[in-house]
């Protein structure tokens, strides 16, 4: 049954973000802030970079603020004013990605000013931006959220999000797929990957796809076919899931932006599940020295090795 999700705090959150942004910009604590602003289409939001205190009024937080802005601090960071600190508006899920990036030396905590957002959830990519947030219209990732309130930020509006108790969509789907035979799973993914057109939106929005030279763009050697044919598509998505294993924090941006609706986050969540089971690793707010695949213990499972 569809139930509305309480987003009443978002107004107060928006106000608090604006006040804080205005303050830190005018005090010169940061040179720019990456946040969300309203866009043309009704109810929609888009990323914005502001550097003037007056522009703080443009910032918003609504259920349409789906983007993980962390991506702007890695690949796109060169194009954002580089002097001084950069402020960024982050939801809990986004913050996990930032923690990961710090662990991988892509960011320094002291270079950024974190404006954390108490978040009850954002909209799914399948609905129009003006839709009301409900148990149906909520983004699938939000059904498994354990980070409604980010911690360790420089500023978090004093609001407590009301987290709805939702059926965990990915967990349920992973369980369903796991129960299939390998041939059935292959058929499922084959159909999904066949739609892929290699637009690389998944890669481009991913905070962790920060390689300057993507393995899959190379042709000497050509490890993965670059053409958008089923063989190359499958290889691309397998390689990407492997590269994200132990790093992906579940912002689900890849899945959200896929124009072909490929459930990419399923792969990432499956990997996260395995890493939790195998090595008790979970991506969280803590900055880790080493990811689970950059370390080992002598007692690691080897039941699969003859």
| Residues 78-107 within binding reach of other proteins (CB under 8 A) | 79-80, 104-106
Pattern 222-261, binding to other proteins, x per CB under 8 A?
xxxxxxxxxx--xx-xxx-xxx-xx------x--xx-xxx
CB 56 → other proteins: shortest distance, Å? 16
CB 237 → other proteins: shortest distance, Å? 8
CA 246 to each of CA 132, 223, 258: distance values in angstroms, whole numbers, following the listed order: 34, 22, 22
* Cα distance between residue 34 and residue 102, in whole Å: 17
Q: Which of 109, 190, 276, 286 binds other proteins (CB under 8 A)?
A: 190
Q: Which is nearer to other proteins, 158 or 242 (CB)?
A: 242
Q: Are 59 and 48 in contact (CB under 8 A)?
A: yes
Phi, psi of 10 (to 5 degrees): -60, -30
Q: Which is nearer to other proteins, 16 or 49 (CB)?
A: 49
Told to check if 285 binds other proteins by CB under 8 A, we report no
Told to check if 137 binds other proteins by CB under 8 A, we report no
Q: Which is nearer to other proteins, 157 or 250 (CB)?
A: 250
Please, what sign has the CA dihedral across residues 52, 58, 62, 64? negative
Rg (Cα) of the chain, in Å, rounded?
Answer: 20
Q: Is the peptide bond before 91 cis (omega within 30 degrees of 0)?
A: no
**Pairing label, strands 112-116, 32-38:** unpaired
* CA-based nearest residue to 292, from 68, 103, 75: 103
CB 265 → other proteins: shortest distance, Å? 13
Told to check if 179 binds other proteins by CB under 8 A, we report no
Told to check if 270 binds other proteins by CB under 8 A, we report yes
Phi, psi of 101 (to 5 degrees): -65, -35
Q: Is 194 exposed, middle or buried (0-12, 13-18, 19+ CB in 10 A)?
A: middle
Q: Which is nearer to other proteins, 8 or 128 (CB)?
A: 128
Q: Which of 8, 11, 52, 128 binds other proteins (CB under 8 A)?
A: 128
CB 275 → other proteins: shortest distance, Å? 7
Q: Which of 1, 110, 280, 306 binds other proteins (CB under 8 A)?
A: 306
Kindly identify the residues of this chain, within the stretch 17-76, that bind other proteins according to CB under 8 A. 39-42, 44-49, 67, 71-72, 75-76
In sequence order, the 6+-apart residues with CB closer than 8 A to the CB of 203 are: 209, 214, 240, 254
Kindly identify the residues of this chain, within the stretch 194-223, that bind other proteins according to CB under 8 A. 194-195, 197-201, 203-205, 210-215, 217-223
Told to check if 280 binds other proteins by CB under 8 A, we report no
Phi, psi of 214 (to 5 degrees): -70, 135
């Amino acid at each position: 049954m569809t139930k509305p999700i309480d987003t009443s705090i978002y107004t107060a959150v928006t106000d608090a973000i604006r006040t804080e942004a205005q303050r830190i910009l005018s005090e010169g604590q940061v040179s720019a802030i990456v946040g969300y602003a309203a866009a043309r289409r009704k109810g929609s939001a888009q990323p914005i970079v502001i550097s003037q205190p007056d522009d703080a009024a443009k910032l918003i937080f609504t259920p349409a603020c789906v983007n993980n802005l962390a991506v702007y601090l890695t690949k796109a960071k060169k194009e954002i004013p580089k002097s001084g600190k950069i402020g960024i508006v982050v939801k809990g899920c986004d913050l996990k990605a930032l923690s990961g990036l710090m662990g991988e030396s892509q960011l320094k905590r002291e270079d950024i000013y974190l404006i954390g957002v108490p978040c009850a959830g954002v909209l799914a990519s399948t609905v129009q931006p003006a839709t009301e947030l409900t148990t149906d219209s909520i983004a699938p990732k939000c059904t498994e959220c354990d980070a409604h309130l980010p911690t360790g930020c420089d500023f978090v509006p004093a609001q407590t999000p009301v987290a709805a108790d939702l059926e965990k969509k990915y967990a349920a789907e992973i369980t369903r797929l796991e129960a299939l035979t390998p041939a059935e799973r292959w058929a499922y993914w084959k159909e999904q990957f066949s739609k892929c057109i290699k637009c690389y939106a998944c890669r481009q929005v991913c905070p962790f796809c920060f390689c300057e030279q993507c393995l899959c763009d190379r042709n000497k050697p050509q490890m993965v076919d670059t053409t958008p044919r089923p063989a190359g598509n499958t290889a691309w998505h397998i390689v990407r899931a492997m590269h994200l294993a132990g790093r992906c924090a579940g912002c689900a941006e890849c899945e959200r932006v896929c124009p072909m609706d490929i459930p990419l986050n399923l792969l990432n969540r499956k990997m996260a599940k395995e890493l939790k089971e195998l090595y008790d690793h979970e991506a969280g707010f803590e900055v880790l020295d080493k990811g689970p695949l950059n370390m080992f213990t002598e007692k690691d499972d080897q039941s699969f090795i003859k």
